[in-house]
Amino acid sequence: ALVFGTIGVKKVVAMQGRFHFYEGYSMKEVTFPVRVLKYLGVEKLIVSNASGGVNPNYKVGSIVIIKDHINFMPEHPLRGKNDERFGPRFVNMSEPYSVEMIAKAKEIAQELNIEVHDGVYLGLQGPTFETLSEYRMVKILGADCVGMSTVPEVIVARHMELETFGVSIITDMGDEESILSVSHKEVLEAAKKAEPNLRKLVKELIVRVNGHPLKPNQMHCLSIFEWHLHHCLKWYIQFLYLPTFFW
Ligand SMILES: O=P(O)(O)O[C@@H]1C[C@H](O)[C@@H](CO)O1
Ligand SMILES: Nc1nc2[nH]cnc2c(=O)[nH]1
């Protein structure tokens, strides 16, 4: 489901969940929502995920601003005939995550006293969590965290020239002491704990980032909508949770 709303004077559409390759969807299906969002007029994409940390400076609950990724997914979302209406055959991936949005998010985090790290996310197929040796491999390959999503969506976002910001919550650490206990339940619990800070950060980023504000006639609707938004914000944001898209 797509949830439509506003944050400040920005129109927002959030996906209630995402598709994963490990669930059996094709890469085209996994990334289809990004195409839809682009055609809805979305200009900027905020994508979030849960991941396992291999950078020893992280701990469970750390918020990591994704500065780059390594594509280790088994299939490429742009494989096959290229549709030039969407984007070019060969996509420049030198700045998959917006440097401008990263800088703004860091500035906000400092102001709000929220501890953030930055790092490289490596995407694997899943659904298994990594073995100790695989976590070690992830680290050797130059990544700071590992997960099962995001990379295909970001590739397709770049294909369509959507400016992208990515953030990851470290829900488990891929080290010898904590690895024995990693489970999906723990992933959900750790993500929930980090959620209030992530919510503040993302909300403020949406407010401050460049984009088209609502037009004056839309402001009238907004004032009526604001009461609703104010009273339902808590509920709303829970659904905005992961991942959030806006334009
Ligand atoms: O959709 P994300 O990447 O946030 O979900 C992560 C990876 C798996 O789907 C799940 C593992 O617990 O969390
Ligand atoms: N692949 C992978 N995905 C995750 N999602 C949350 N934690 C992890 C992890 O340790 N590994």
Domain CATH number, residue 84: 3.40.50.1580
Q: Which two tokens stand for residue 235?
A: 């509920």
Q: Is residue 239 part of a domain?
A: no
**Torsion sign across C-alpha atoms 97, 103, 104, 109:** positive
How many domains is the chain partitioned into structurally? 1
CA of residue 120 to ligand 2 center, whole Å: 14
Whether 241 shows a pLDDT value over 70: the answer reads no
CA of residue 95 to ligand 2 center, whole Å: 24
Residue-wise pLDDT tens digits, 155-173: 999 999 999 999 999 999 9
Q: Is residue 25 part of a domain?
A: no
The per-residue pLDDT for 177 is 67
Q: Is residue 184 part of a domain?
A: yes
Q: Is residue 22 part of a domain?
A: no
pTM, 2 dp: 0.85
Q: Is residue 4 part of a domain?
A: no
Pocket probe for ligand 2: among 138, 171, 177, 183, the residue whose CB has the most ligand atoms within 8 Å is: 171
Q: Which has the closest alpha carbon to 63: 152, 144, 140?
A: 144
Pocket probe for ligand 1: among 18, 22, 34, 49, the residue whose CB has the most ligand atoms within 8 Å is: 49
Pocket probe for ligand 2: among 148, 173, 176, 182, the residue whose CB has the most ligand atoms within 8 Å is: 148
- Write out the residue range of the structural domain in which residue 49 sits: 44-209
Residue-wise pLDDT tens digits, 45-60: 999 999 999 999 999 9
Residue-wise pLDDT tens digits, 2-32: 999 999 889 999 999 999 999 999 999 999 9
Whether 146 lines ligand 2, by a CB cut-off of 6 Å, is yes
CA of residue 80 to ligand 1 center, whole Å: 27
Q: Is residue 33 part of a domain?
A: no
Q: Is residue 247 part of a domain?
A: no
Q: Is residue 132 part of a domain?
A: yes
Residue with the nearest Cα to atom 4 of ligand 1?
49
